[in-house]
Structure 1
Amino acid sequence: MTRTVSQLFDLKGRTALVTGGSRGLGLQMAHALGEAGARIMLTSRKAGDLEEAAAQLQAAGIDARWIAADCGKEEDIRRLADETLQRMGDVDILVNNAGAAWGAPAEDHPVEAWDKLMNLNVRGYFILSQQIGKRSMIPRKYGRIINIASIAGLGGNPPELKTLAYNTSKGAVINFTRALGCEWGQYNITVNAVCPGFFPSKMTQATLDRLGEDQLAAHSPLRRLGDDEDLKGVTLLFASDAGKHITGQWLAVDGGVSVVTGG
């Protein structure tokens, strides 16, 4: 029998691991998954932030736990996978969201900063996807992987935004998503990417302070920045059976900025 819309979006009985989940976009996506019924494992570097985030989710009636780990370190990623599988059992949904940004002119961009971004924003996604995929999703022939890219990965930026390494890393995430979606489709694992536009966050605060909210919002046809609800719908689509026939795709959630710029 064909399922109803509410049944397709229902995540009861599912388990989700969300990296960079203690604040901002990661916490917003954790709320979306938990509100749909999933159990949540949060991770980020700082235990204090995670404890607060988990308490916030639990106050909303969501089964939420946390593990402190640095997704820029391979040993931490492997430990995160081990502990999550031990404590939660199989992982149905993996949200690769942990990331960093760096602003500097290309001619003066520190190589160590370039390496840091590639390591966290790309290599970390690969290692954790490999660990969870090989140990939990492939054996069961079921999984949903959501990679957080950015509209910065679709092309260049205005001259005032000097984020070459960030743009490059997010472009890599988009093609990582396409390639992995093709390879793991045979295991009934979908792999999709979300490309947010400008959302106010700790990572984007310096840009917001320098350029101002009004100037940034003016680039959007909707004339506003992203808010605390704007990623919930796409997260739930990619994580649930409502999106079971979508893989290797990216979707911009940017108020239309990428349409104007031709991304």
Structure 2
Amino acid sequence: MIATRPAFASGFDLSGKVALVTGGNGGIGFAIAAALASAGASIVVAGRNADKNRKAEAALQAAGAAAKALHADVTQEADCRSLARQAIDSFGSIDILVNNAGTNIRKQPEDYSLEEWRMLIDVNLTSAFLASMAVFPHMKARGGRIINIGSMTSLFGTSFSAPYGASKGGVVQFTKALASAWAKHRITVNAILPGWIETDLTIRGREATPHLHDQVIARTPAGRWGKPEDLGTAALFLAGPGADFVTGIALPVDGGYSAQG
């Protein structure tokens, strides 16, 4: 006998859910926030840039979402705990956490200062730890979804992004550890590994690295750079009820870049 399953669309329904997206005021983070909102989730975006926060909040609300932008430095434990409290006070819960905050500095390994190394590790990796710990007491009681944003440098080495690659490799291992530890609490933890996506960060990378654009196109079977919206749909799947049995994965969204020999 074939078991009855819910309609396909219900696997992506986030009605009544609340999503907290760090670094959600622009680029990939905003695209993920918009995708989750389109499925019915209430959205809290967190960022340090007040102007970008205001614009993100207004854009989400104009599209019909219940949305709020909050100022936070997610490298600080107190800020992450305050962020979680404010999100719960505003919308009643946190069902989905997207650890998206990140940055990069491109140099040869020997040219980084210790200060730069520590900053990149803190923004890209420590922030995911702090935000996850901040939401855990709430999710422990009700279940939830955590989605961490890694990178192709989680898999491959690059000569010009040693600390970034180290931080993003750490994101994948952190994802697997949390998935193993928190499955008993009905918390799924997954990572998305963006390929070469058109964002402000990668535009600067193309400006700094000759021939990068052509090299990416040549390596990518899809024949194009990705768009932030490509990440939004991937996050929507992992956040939804259709991914209830998916945890501990690192999902490349890269147009085939990581599959190309």
- TM-score interval (norm. to shorter): over 0.9
Q: Would you say the 8 A contact 2:198–2:228 is kept in 1?
A: no
- The alignment status of 1:242 with 2:242, answered yes or no, reads yes
- Shift in Å, 1:67: 0.4
Task: Report the 3-state secondary structure (helix = DSSP H, G, I; strand = E; otherwise coil) of the residue aligned with 1:40.
Answer: strand
**TM-score under structure 1 normalisation?**
0.94
- Shift in Å, 1:83: 1.4
Residues 51-101 of structure 1 show CA distances to partners (whole Å, capped at 9, x for unaligned) of 101111111111111101111222222221221122222100000000111
Matches within 5 A, 1:12-161: 12-134=15-137, 136-140=138-142, 142-157=143-158, 159=159
Q: Distance in 2 between matches of 1:167 and 1:228?
A: 20
Matches within 5 A, 1:194-213: 194-209=192-207, 210-211=209-210, 213=213
**How many percent of aligned residue pairs carry the same amino acid?**
39
Q: Distance in 2 between matches of 1:31 and 1:213?
A: 27
Task: Report the 3-state secondary structure (helix = DSSP H, G, I; strand = E; otherwise coil) of the residue aligned with 2:255.
Answer: coil
Show the counterpart of 1:173. Answer: 171
TM superposition outliers: structure 1 runs of 4+ over 6 Å: none
Residues 236-255 of structure 1 show CA distances to partners (whole Å, capped at 9, x for unaligned) of 11000110000010100111
Q: Would you say the 8 A contact 1:200–1:208 is kept in 2?
A: no
Q: What one-letter code is carried by the residue in structure 1 that aligns with 2:185?
A: Y
Q: Distance in 1 between matches of 2:100 and 2:11?
A: 24
Q: Would you say the 8 A contact 1:18–1:43 is kept in 2?
A: yes
**TM-score under structure 2 normalisation?**
0.94
Q: Distance in 2 between matches of 1:256 and 1:115?
A: 32
Q: Distance in 1 between matches of 2:181 and 2:46?
A: 27
Q: Distance in 1 between matches of 2:55 and 2:111?
A: 38
Residues 215-249 of structure 1 show CA distances to partners (whole Å, capped at 9, x for unaligned) of 32222111110014211221111000110000010
Show the counterpart of 2:224. Answer: 224
Q: Would you say the 8 A contact 2:45–2:53 is kept in 1?
A: yes
Q: Distance in 1 between matches of 2:94 and 2:150?
A: 21
Task: Report the 3-state secondary structure (helix = DSSP H, G, I; strand = E; otherwise coil) of the residue aligned with 1:87.
Answer: helix
Q: What one-letter code is carried by the residue in structure 2 that aligns with 1:185?
A: A
Instruction: Name which of structure 1's ranges 211-220 and 241-250 shifts more when overlaid on structure 2.
Output: 211-220
Q: What one-letter code is carried by the residue in structure 2 that aligns with 1:35?
A: S
Q: Distance in 2 between matches of 1:233 and 1:84?
A: 23
- Shift in Å, 1:122: 1.1
Show the counterpart of 1:251. Answer: 251
Q: Would you say the 8 A contact 2:199–2:228 is kept in 1?
A: no
Task: Report the 3-state secondary structure (helix = DSSP H, G, I; strand = E; otherwise coil) of the residue aligned with 1:203.
Answer: helix
- Shift in Å, 1:143: 0.3
Structure 1 residues 228 and 108: CA distance shift in structure 2, 3 A: closer
Q: What one-letter code is carried by the residue in structure 1 that aligns with 2:165?
A: N
Aligned length: 256
Q: What one-letter code is carried by the residue in structure 2 that aligns with 1:204?
A: T
* RMSD of aligned Cα (Å): 1.3
Residues 161-194 of structure 1 show CA distances to partners (whole Å, capped at 9, x for unaligned) of x100000100000000001001000011000000
